[in-house]
Amino acid sequence: MTTIMDRANALLIEFEQNANSLEKVTPDTVEELRIHWLGKKGIVTKLFEDMRHVPNEEKRDAGKSMNVLKTSIEASLDVLKSKAADFVFHSILNRAPLDITLPSQKDTLKGALHPITLMQQKLLKEFRQHGFTVYDGPETDFDFYNFTALNLPADHPARDMQDTFHLKTNQDIMVLRTQTSNIQIHAMLQEKPPLRIVAPGRVYRVDSDQTHTPIFHQIEGLVVDKKISFADLKGMIQSMLHSVYGATAKTRFRPSYFPFVEPGAEVDMQCTHCQGKGCKICKNTGWLEIGGCGMVHPNVFEAVSYDSEEYTGFAFGFGLDRMAMLNWQLPDLRQLFEGDAGFQSQFSVFAEGAPC
């Protein structure tokens, strides 16, 4: 009569034959083998159940040989599992190699200048043709340039309209500029009149909702000379907007208040999306505000020691983001800041200097 011990020994040999005959040692085949031998309904488990029928005096030896069988199988399975892991590792290595230095496929997304950059380049080109010099100015600036010298003293209520980010310094109050108008002051302190400058740049305000982003872009303009009038201002702005948006572009000036100009106005462009009929973009008004302008306030001239009796001037500040939005009829300002490569690549057709 075959005893459990004999069966256990025979099964160990059978298991080894099973293991050696595996065609491939993969995580799946090893797991199958484990289930077949040690699983809930596996051969070894059944053998343990048969222990019930073993006479008491043989139980000890039978149990021993079954434990030997079980631990031997477990040890072999461990070896097989690590072989299977090697198999997975090598099959990954042997896959078609990925050469990241190969040139990309033709149809992948093209890089392109950002619409705000395109709009800025277009405007600068236009202004240069009108004899303007392009100026740059600091994005972090002293309160003096961003506010005080622009006729916005420390407790002026109009400061509330431009809630900003303040920076701590030892010497003076500094801010992230809220407007490119700070460049007016830098330019006038550096140059003697007459003066004709434009200055594009990033500006910052504590503002974030569907139509406002904490960072946006403006382009500032300043002309100072003898006998400059509001008619010069209107003519300049209209001609600039015509050259950007075409001769049919309609503009309107609405009286408004900016502390650094008197009189001051807001400039609206007829909505290019609906041609003034009213749509979601222009909130059904047919018009979109693109910036402010006006005649330089005598207090500003005083702050930079220009003679306001001898000189007059006009200034304007436009939102570059708004202008780009209008130009390409973008439904949402946020598209300009999301960094979506699909959106961005569409602008690759507008190479530098090409008509937008």
Q: Cα dihedral sign for 197, 201, 203, 209?
A: positive
**Closest distance to ligand DAH from the beta carbon of 151 (Å):** 11
Tokens 């008197």 correspond to 262
Beta strands in 52-194 (DSSP E): 133-134, 140-142, 166-167, 174-176
Question: Is 313 near ligand DAH (CB under 6 A)?
Answer: no
Q: Listing from the earlier edge strand, what are the strands of the sheet with 215-225?
A: 133-134, 195-204, 215-225, 312-319, 287-296, 261-270, 251-256
Considering the complex, state which of residue 183 and residue 271 has its C-beta at the smaller distance from ligand DAH.
183
Question: Is 181 near ligand DAH (CB under 6 A)?
Answer: yes
**Closest distance to ligand DAH from the beta carbon of 291 (Å):** 6
Q: Which region, judged by CB under 6 A, interacts with ligand DAH, from 96-104, 108-116, 289-297, 345-353? A: 289-297
Q: Cα dihedral sign for 169, 173, 174, 176?
A: positive
- Per CB under 6 A, the list member of 317, 320, 322, 324 interacting with ligand DAH is 317
Tell me how long the chain is: 356
Query: Coil, helix or strand for 203?
Result: strand
**Closest distance to ligand DAH from the beta carbon of 230 (Å):** 11
Token pair, residue 145, equals 């340039």
Considering the complex, state which of residue 84 and residue 219 has its C-beta at the smaller distance from ligand DAH.
219
- Per CB under 6 A, the list member of 47, 123, 293, 304 interacting with ligand DAH is 293
Question: Is 344 near ligand DAH (CB under 6 A)?
Answer: no
113 to each of 119, 234, 286, 318, 343, how far by Cα in Å? 10, 30, 29, 20, 12
Token pair, residue 98, equals 């990925």
Q: Which region, judged by CB under 6 A, interacts with ligand DAH, from 76-84, 300-308, 311-319, 328-336? A: 311-319
**Closest distance to ligand DAH from the beta carbon of 157 (Å):** 15
Question: Is 292 near ligand DAH (CB under 6 A)?
Answer: yes
In degrees rounded to 5, what are phi and psi of residue 4?
Answer: -60, -35
Task: Report the C-alpha gap between 277 and 174 in whole angstroms.
Answer: 44
Q: Which region, judged by CB under 6 A, interacts with ligand DAH, from 15-23, 207-215, 257-265, 340-348? A: 257-265
322 to each of 187, 247, 268, 308, how far by Cα in Å? 25, 19, 11, 33
**Closest distance to ligand DAH from the beta carbon of 203 (Å):** 7
Task: Report the C-alpha gap between 285 and 270 in whole angstroms.
Answer: 9
Binding mask 183-222 for ligand DAH (x = CB under 6 A): -------------------------------------x--
Task: Report the C-alpha gap between 66 and 52 in whole angstroms.
Answer: 13
**Closest distance to ligand DAH from the beta carbon of 95 (Å):** 57
- Per CB under 6 A, the list member of 119, 294, 311, 323 interacting with ligand DAH is 294
- Per CB under 6 A, the list member of 132, 316, 347, 350 interacting with ligand DAH is 316
For residue 222, the cross-strand partners are 197, 315
Q: Which region, judged by CB under 6 A, interacts with ligand DAH, from 60-68, 118-126, 297-305, 309-317? A: 309-317
**Closest distance to ligand DAH from the beta carbon of 340 (Å):** 27
Token pair, residue 147, equals 């506010």
Question: Is 258 near ligand DAH (CB under 6 A)?
Answer: yes
User: What number of helices (H) and strands (E) belong to the chain?
Assistant: 11, 10
Considering the complex, state which of residue 263 and residue 276 has its C-beta at the smaller distance from ligand DAH.
263
**Closest distance to ligand DAH from the beta carbon of 179 (Å):** 3
**Closest distance to ligand DAH from the beta carbon of 228 (Å):** 13
Contacting positions for ligand DAH (CB under 6 A): 179, 181, 220, 258, 261, 264, 291-294, 315-317
